[in-house]
Amino acid sequence: MKKAAVILSGCGVFDGAEIHEAVLTLLSLEKHGASYQCFAPDVDQLHVVNHLTGEVAEGESRNVLVEAARIARGNVKPVTECQAEEFDLLVLPGGFGAAKNLCTFAVDGPDCSFNEDVLAVCKQFAAAGKPAAYACIAPALAAKVYGNNTNVTIGNDKDTAAGLEAFGAKHQLCGVEDVIIDQDAKLVTTPAYMLGQNMLEVSIGLDKMVQSVLALK
Amino acid sequence: MKKAAVILSGCGVFDGAEIHEAVLTLLSLEKHGASYQCFAPDVDQLHVVNHLTGEVAEGESRNVLVEAARIARGNVKPVTECQAEEFDLLVLPGGFGAAKNLCTFAVDGPDCSFNEDVLAVCKQFAAAGKPAAYACIAPALAAKVYGNNTNVTIGNDKDTAAGLEAFGAKHQLCGVEDVIIDQDAKLVTTPAYMLGQNMLEVSIGLDKMVQSVLALK
């Protein structure tokens, strides 16, 4: 049984991990016979967004690890405890949290900063030649980690794609139900809710992502 | 296309809607060709639980509707706006929120109080003879709404089952991948995480619940 490390970035599309993407990714891992352990950085969220109004909840703060525990039903560990040698693959679902809490790409674009602990784990998997999958906006991190003309996708948004190419990655257009695979880097990316209009099409792309990353050797 | 009203109770298994159950239910509705609108009561949660430690987060408060918006990606309405005549069926995923925020069954058992707005909507669907599905611990509400020896399940926990029978419902043992259907009441219930050990088996039961409730006439 292959074992996946899954890095979450909170709980909620506008300030954390995209909930549907995270749940569907975990389901797909189970469905295809893999086990998983969730991780998240033990840091405050960039901010808290009221998901009903879309407005920032001024004065409120939440911790990424604590909120990620909602998706993981309590079973989540600090990302500093993630060792690539204990896993076969790495998976990062999307949501704004990936670009607000794991890095600041959502607000700073290619000049963004990165959570050093998350970046170190991502680099560990890359250096060890272990397969990885990044969904939605999380490929912003993949672009930074892999660079070197590695093929990645965030769908078809030109400005976002240009941001990823600023890290040295090569953006490829991709539909929501499809994936981009870079065989050399052992990297799979899929647009998910960067393009998805409903959960069903997002679930198809994520399932293909999980199957593809599990098939990489 | 059948249209489902889905009542959520927050966002997170220990103080709100069980996230996996909610997401998998919505996915299943899409997969089987139904559309849906999410609703939640605009009230404070009973409490906030830190899902990492399992402890109550003293001094913190969150609103059920606002937190449910995380699962619904913002597209959720106050439950007072739910009219049975606009929908073909009603669905309630579980999580402690169903038994802490929609009613207080988790703390008060059969002596619990009910959110009057939620109870009114549930009763509307029952009175109109429109099918309904309740998962996990949410059948506590179904037992109250239907009573009258209606067949319901929360799995196999004796004390919880006795609590439901105190409302006049008849508890049936049921496996996580199965459902109990009461044809007369047009009611489907499934244990979900009351029994589930992993997301895959919960997804099978919930998918069967959705298919069953969509098939009821």
Chain A: residue nearest B35 by CA? Answer: A198
User: What is the mean pLDDT of the segment spanning B16-41?
Assistant: 98
Distance CA A24, CA B91 (A): 20
Cα separation, A106 vs A96, in Å, equals 7
Distance (Å) from the C-alpha of residue B200 to the closest C-alpha of chain A? 6
Model confidence pLDDT, tens digit, residues A62-96:
999 999 999 999 999 999 999 999 999 999 999 99
Top residue of B13, B37, B199, B210 to mutate, by most chain A CBs within 10 Å, is: B199
Closest to A115 in 3D by CA, of A26, A12, A46, A60: A46
**Token representation of residue B75:** 């597209």
Instruction: Quote the percentage of chain B above a pLDDT of 90.
Output: 100
Contacts of A65 in chain B (CB under 8 A): 52
pTM higher than 0.95: yes
Which residues have C-beta within 8 Å of that of residue B159, sequence separation ≥ 6?
A: none
Interface contact A27-B65, CB threshold 8 A: no
Q: Which amino acid is residue B23, in one-letter code?
A: V
Q: Give the pLDDT confidence score for residue A171 in this predicted structure.
A: 98
**Structural domain that includes position A143:** 3-215
Count other Cβ atoms within 10 Å, centred on residue A28.
22
Chain A interface test: which of B1, B19, B42 (most A C-beta within 10 Å): B19
Q: Read off the CATH number of the domain in which B164 is found.
A: 3.40.50.880
B76-128 pLDDT tens trace? 999 999 999 999 999 999 999 999 999 999 999 999 999 999 999 999 999 99
pLDDT of A176 > 90? The answer is yes
Min Cα distance B109 → chain A (Å) is 23
Domain count across chain B: 1
Asked whether the beta carbons of A70 and B12 are under 8 A apart, the reply is yes
Q: Is the pLDDT of residue A109 over 90?
A: yes
Average pLDDT over chain B, rounded to an integer: 98
Instruction: Report angle CA B48, A74, B78 to the nearest 5 degrees.
Output: 40
Of B52, B69, B198, the CB nearest to A74: B52
List, for residues B200-213, the tens digit of each pLDDT value: 999 999 999 999 99
Quick one: average pLDDT of B185-198? 98
Distance in Å, alpha carbon of B4 to nearest chain A alpha carbon: 15
Shortest Cα distance, chain B CAs vs residue A25, angstroms: 11
Which residues does chain A have within 8 Å of residue B35's beta carbon, measured at their own beta carbons? none
Verify whether the Cβ–Cβ distance B199 to A27 is below 8 Å. Answer: yes
Mean pLDDT of the A98-107 span:
98
**Contact check, Cβ <8 Å, B11/A14:** no
Dump pLDDT digits (tens) for A182-205.
999 999 999 999 999 999 999 999
Query: Which tens digit of pLDDT belongs to each residue from A46-64?
Result: 999 999 999 999 999 999 9
For residue B56, what are the β-bridge partners? B49
pLDDT of residue B217: 86
Confidence of residue A137 (pLDDT cuts 50, 70, 90): very high
Q: Distance, in angstroms, between B77 CA and closest chain A CA?
A: 9
Measured between CA atoms, the residue of chain A closest to residue B199 is: A27
* Mean pLDDT confidence for B3-17: 98
Contact A13 B70 (CB under 8 A): yes
Q: Is A11 exposed, middle or buried (0-12, 13-18, 19+ CB in 10 A)?
A: buried
Q: With both helix axes pointing from N to C terminus, report the angle between A64-71 and A19-31 in degrees, rounded to the nearest 10.
A: 50
Does A169 have pLDDT greater than 90?
yes
User: What average pLDDT score do residues A147-168 get?
Assistant: 97
Residues of A with CB under 8 A from a CB of B: 11-14, 16, 19-20, 23-24, 26-27, 30-31, 50-52, 54, 65-67, 69-74, 76, 198-200, 203
Interface test mutation site (partner B, options A38, A39, A51, max chain B beta carbons within 10 A): A51
Tell me the average pLDDT across A109-114.
97
In the structure, what pLDDT confidence band is assigned to residue A4 with cuts at 50, 70 and 90?
very high
List C-alpha distances in Å: B163 to A41, A191, B14, B143, B158: 41, 46, 20, 9, 9
Is A217's pLDDT higher than 90? no
Which residue in chain B has the smallest CA separation from A36? B198
Q: Which residues of B are designated catalytic?
A: 136
CB B29 within 8 Å of CB B35: yes
